[in-house]
């Protein structure tokens, strides 16, 4: 059986095509302005990679911030469910998922079947999200891909106390003017995000088997900062960005069989 999942995030749109228990192809595109158009493009790209046509898909499920804009399917599931399903499929022992995307971060508690038991998330501002990190990286004039590695080379973490992206940016700028070493500031920025996630994570209980998903999980410095805060090892999938779409595909599979 061939199914697909699509995750229309605020920054990127992801597609996963699944055949039985094998990922046939994936695609990741910038969401840009037109959600519906990009969704179609991302789907076409994934289909092309797998040498399939849309008709060959038995079912498709959409998730993510822009799931409503997807025109080729009416089936939707929340991001929480999709991340839980995707993470559970990759790491069946996972009991907690920390997902940090571009504009949202959430902590999900799941049971042994991968069902959501409870969840919490930021729903008010950019604090503790990818956009926050992106803004800070720009203020530091460091490419976002390098932030993680550089932060690991810090000597003493700088203190960034503001949660607000706008105020934190001016805090970062004053660190630069004061001559705080670059790597220390980067480590401080990651620490401030970790602080925010730590609070949310504790509200969901203190499970040890934690998986991190979402684009920010590609940042090794962020993962280390969170591990340090939580005091546990965090499992990161090979491609953390597609976990939501993968979960959507897994749910699409169930829609067919049930």
Partner 1 sequence: MEALNTLRDVVKNPKRIPEDWKAQGKKVVGYRCINVPEEIIYAAGMIPYPLFGTPKAVSLADSYFQPCVCEFIRNVFDLALEGELKFLDGLALCNTCDAVRKLYDMWNLYIKPSSCYIINNPQKLLYEANYKLYRKELERFKQAMEELSGNRISDESLQEAIDLYNENRALLKELYLLRKVENPPFSGEEALDIVMACMLMPKESCNQLLRQLLKEVKGREVYNDSGPRVLITGSIIDDPTLIRMVEEVGGLVVADDLCTTTKYFWHQVKREKDPLDAIYKYNNESCLCACMHPQEARFDYLMELIREFSVDGVIYFNLKYCHPFLYEAPLFQEKLEAEDIPTIFLETGHDLSGIGQLRTRVQAFIEMLG
Count Cα atoms within 13 angstroms, Cβ side, for 74.
0
Closest distance of CB 214 from partner 1, Å: 14
The b/e string for 226-237 (b: 16+ C-beta within 10 A; e otherwise) is: beebbebebbbb
d(CA 93, CA 218): 21
Closest distance of CB 133 from partner 1, Å: 19
Closest CB to partner 1 among residues 164, 176: 164
**Percentage helix, strand, coil, to 5, in the chain?**
45, 20, 30
Going by the DSSP 8-state scheme, the letter that residue 76 receives in this structure is B
Going by the DSSP 8-state scheme, the letter that residue 64 receives in this structure is S
| The two structure tokens encoding residue 49 | 């990679």
Closest distance of CB 65 from partner 1, Å: 7
Please identify which residue in the block is written with the tokens 């605020």: 10
Burial of 63 (0-12, 13-18, 19+ CB in 10 A): buried
Closest CB to partner 1 among residues 188, 247: 247
Closest distance of CB 119 from partner 1, Å: 6
Closest CB to partner 1 among residues 69, 180: 69
Binding site for partner 1 (CB under 8 A): 65, 76-81, 104, 115-119, 121, 123-124
Closest CB to partner 1 among residues 117, 228: 117
Going by the DSSP 8-state scheme, the letter that residue 164 receives in this structure is S
Closest CB to partner 1 among residues 121, 181: 121
Closest distance of CB 52 from partner 1, Å: 28
Closest CB to partner 1 among residues 5, 221: 5
Closest distance of CB 176 from partner 1, Å: 31
């Amino acid at each position: 059986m061939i199914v697909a999942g699509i995750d229309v995030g605020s920054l990127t749109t992801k597609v996963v095509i699944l055949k039985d228990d094998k990922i046939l192809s994936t695609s990741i595109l910038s969401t840009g302005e037109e959600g519906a158009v990009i969704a179609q493009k991302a789907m076409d790209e994934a289909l092309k990679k797998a040498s399939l046509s849309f008709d060959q898909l038995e079912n498709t499920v959409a998730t993510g911030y822009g799931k409503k804009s997807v025109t080729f399917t009416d089936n939707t599931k929340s991001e929480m469910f999709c991340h839980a399903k995707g993470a559970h499929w990759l790491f069946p022992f996972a009991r907690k998922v920390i997902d940090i995307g571009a504009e949202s971060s959430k902590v999900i508690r799941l049971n042994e079947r991968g069902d959501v038991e409870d969840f919490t998330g930021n729903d008010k501002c950019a604090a503790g999200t990818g956009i926050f990190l992106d803004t800070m990286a720009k203020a530091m004039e460091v490419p976002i891909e390098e932030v993680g590695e550089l932060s690991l080379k810090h000597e003493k973490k700088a203190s960034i106390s503001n949660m607000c992206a706008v105020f934190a940016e001016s805090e970062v700028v004053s660190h630069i003017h004061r001559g705080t070493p670059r790597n220390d500031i980067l480590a401080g920025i990651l620490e401030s995000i970790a602080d925010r996630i730590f609070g949310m994570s504790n509200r969901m209980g203190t499970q040890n088997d934690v998986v991190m998903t979402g684009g920010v999980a590609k940042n090794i410095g962020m993962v280390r900062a969170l591990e340090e805060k939580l005091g546990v090892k965090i499992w990161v999938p090979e491609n953390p960005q597609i976990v939501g779409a993968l979960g959507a595909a897994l749910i699409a599979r169930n829609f067919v069989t049930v």
